[in-house]
Amino acid sequence: MASEARYRLLADDYELTSVAWVPYRRIGLSVLALPLSAFVFCVVYSILFNFEHSTSTHCGAYNVLPSISASIGSYSPQKEVWKLAIILHAIPRLLMVYFDFYYNREVLFEITKIPSIIDTLLHIIENVALVSLTLYDSSNYYSTHEKSFMIFILTSELHMLLIVAMHQRCRRVVRNKSEINSFWWKKFMVCINVLAVIFSGYFYVLHNVRCPNYAYTMFAICEYIVVFSNMIFHITSTLDFADRDLVFYRYGITMTHRPFD
């Protein structure tokens, strides 16, 4: 009961009638599918209908893929689709941050209390920065968009690295095979993400210094990998809570334990 109580958000202890009862995995996948599907739509639509403009660069080098900023913030209907997806997923995503914090407190040693709080703050800032870089697109608010993007990358990297480090060295209990699979995917996605960030920096500098053909295309590919690996990393929370259901009450939410199968 103590563990279950930690996952209660605004629910009244005396309110027993539930409005809906949904597996956490279904909610988590639905929330994270919003930015994923919007991102794929924006890139594909930009290639099909805004190819020349979205792949052009200041030096005239030939490229075949648009950057993320060009895909999500420069043209319609892409920027409207992206903004809608991010806004719709923002509050449920923060709810997932709340549950992730208590999950860490449940499975990690007490020594990680402060690092877990720091990690949660990083996770919150990451999501706020994502909303900011979405609302302030690169076409009209370049400076704000650039700063928001840098904050997003920095906090997401620190968040992922801290999570992996804590679970690698301070894990107190592993409750099922699903959690083992989750941690494997977290480690793999962190490695992919860090490498993609490093290579994206390299190709960005190469493009600005020498401007060869396809350098910005390689930068865009690295950006895509950063985004996809980040999304998959967060999707692993559905494995951490594979045996949990979200119970929606009139005035709150509770996460309950379901026998694992």
Return averaged pLDDT per consecutive 10 residues of the chain, 261 residues in all.
55 60 88 93 96 89 92 91 94 90 92 96 96 87 90 96 96 90 97 96 94 95 96 94 85 73 49
Residue 15 has a pLDDT of 54
Query: Does 206 fall in a domain?
Result: yes
How far apart are alpha carbons 105 and 213 in whole angstroms?
A: 49
How far apart are alpha carbons 231 and 48 in whole angstroms?
A: 24
Residue 1 has a pLDDT of 45
Residue 16 has a pLDDT of 58
Range of the domain at 104: 42-50+61-253
The total number of structural domains that make up the chain: 1
Query: Does 74 fall in a domain?
Result: yes
Residue 259 has a pLDDT of 56
- Give the HSE-up count for residue 198: Cα atoms under 13 Å, Cβ half-sphere: 6
How far apart are alpha carbons 74 and 81 in whole angstroms?
A: 12
Residue 180 has a pLDDT of 94
Query: Does 222 fall in a domain?
Result: yes
Query: Does 16 fall in a domain?
Result: no
Query: Does 76 fall in a domain?
Result: yes
Residue 223 has a pLDDT of 95
Residue 109 has a pLDDT of 95
Residue 8 has a pLDDT of 61
Residue 6 has a pLDDT of 58
Query: Does 22 fall in a domain?
Result: no
